[in-house]
Amino acid sequence: MILFMLCSQFLLSQDQKQFEVGALPHLDLSNIAGDIEVTIGEPGAIMIRYEKEDDDVKVDFSQSGDRVTVRVDMPRRSHNKGGVSFKVTLPPETEVELKSISGHITAKGLARGGELETVSGNVRLDDSQGEFEASSVSGDVVVRKARGQYRLGSVSGSVMVEEMDHSTLKAESVSGHLTLSSATLDGEYRFETTSGNISISHSRDASYRVRFDTFSGNVDYPEGANMSLKKEQYTPSKSLKGSYHDGKGSIEGETLSGSIRIVAR
């Protein structure tokens, strides 16, 4: 009997909901504790599968037109304090608002845009296009294979972007590193961090203008590039300006104590 009671605390309550939607759906999902995983399915329906670790936790669903809203209610007096994990399948053109206080958020294949936000957890966005904002307080933000407009930020985590083209990017962190790799650099890219490093790697056929500033960090840039590094006479401040090839795109940014590294591969 005691063993049954102990094991029952970890049993999951599973369920699913399906919503019929039109051509431009919108999903607004706000979680408290638990992961959110989003993948792309067929047009016309939003499928939401979820697992609860505590039967006292309530999951409320509502629909107004093509907009589906999901909210999690966790009673204050609940003894188990278990969370809810979601696995969601969306039509490709769905706009999203995904939030979790404690949990990871992952999405793949989104083609319209949206917001992804967590306090304690990582955010990962793969194979996306559109206008996105993604942020975490204590976790990393990772974006791979992207095209569109992106605003990415973390307080203590890093922001990592790979394979981005024809895009506008603003990446920010207080103490984390900012990394951009395998990018064409034919758009506009801005990086801001207080104590983290900024690292950019690109192909040798990239073309961009550059301006970076750091107060006390080191600066490295491609050999042979039309760039100049200016050092202040009475402070450790450094400014990098110039261009690589024809200067079609633009990259700029600043860090207080971090270093800046640009590499052509």
Partners of residue 108 on adjacent β-strands: 126
Classify 264 as helix, strand or coil: strand
Residue-number span of the structural domain to which 129 is assigned: 122-265
Answer yes or no: do 225 and 142 share one domain. Answer: yes
Q: Is residue 229 part of a domain?
A: yes
Residue 36 falls inside a structural domain: yes
Average pLDDT, the chain: 94
pLDDT of 12: 74
Closest CA to 158 of 258, 31, 239: 258
Co-location of 135 and 226 in the same domain: yes
Domain for residue 117, yes or no? no
Of 92, 111, 140, the residue that ends a domain is 92
Does the residue 103 lie in any domain?
A: no
| 138 and 17 part of one domain | no
Higher pLDDT, 4 or 135: 135
Q: Which of 222, 213, 156 is nearest to 185 (CA)?
A: 222
Residue type, 115: E
Q: Residue 34 falls within a domain, yes or no?
A: yes
Residues 148 and 246 placed together within one structural domain of the fold = yes
Percent of the chain at pLDDT exceeding 70 = 94
Spatial distance between the Cα atoms of 185 and 202, rounded to a whole number of angstroms? 8
**Does 21 score more than 60 pLDDT?**
yes
The predicted-structure confidence for 94-134, as pLDDT tens digits, reads as follows 999 999 999 999 999 999 999 999 999 999 999 999 999 99
Residue 98 resides in a domain: no
- Is residue 130 located within the same domain as residue 79? no
205 lies in some domain: yes
Q: Report the alpha-carbon distance of residue 103 to residue 117 in Å, rounded.
A: 10
Assess contact for 123 and 100: CB atoms under 8 A.
no
Give me the residue label for tokens 């049993």: 11
Residues 133 and 86 in one domain: no
The DSSP result for 70-96, as a single string, is EEEE--TT-SS---EEEEEEE-TT-EE
pLDDT, tens digit (0-9, with 9 covering 90-100), for 34-85: 999 999 999 999 999 999 988 889 999 999 999 999 999 987 765 556 799 9
Q: Tell me the pairing of strands 67-73 and 36-40.
A: unpaired
Closest CA to 238 of 201, 264, 206, 211: 211
> Where is the domain boundary, 76, 92, 108?
92
157 plus 199 within the same structural domain: yes
Dist CA 208 CA 231 (whole Å): 22
110 domain-assigned: no
Average pLDDT of the segment spanning 23-41? 98
| Three-state secondary structure call for residue 44 | coil
pLDDT band, residue 5 (cuts 50/70/90)? very low
Same-domain check for residues 51 and 171: no
Number of domains in the chain: 2
pLDDT at position 105, please? 99
18 pLDDT more than 70: yes
Q: Is residue 71 domain-shared with residue 150, that is, in the same domain?
A: no
In a shared domain, residues 150 and 57: no
- Mark which of 37, 71, 92 sits at the end of a domain: 92
Same domain, 138 and 265: yes
d(CA 115, CA 117): 6
The residue written with tokens 């319209």 in the block is: 112
Stretch 155-178: mean pLDDT: 97
Identify whether residues 175 and 78 lie together within a single domain.
no
* Burial tier of 231 (Cβ tally within 10 Å: 0-12, 13-18, 19+): exposed
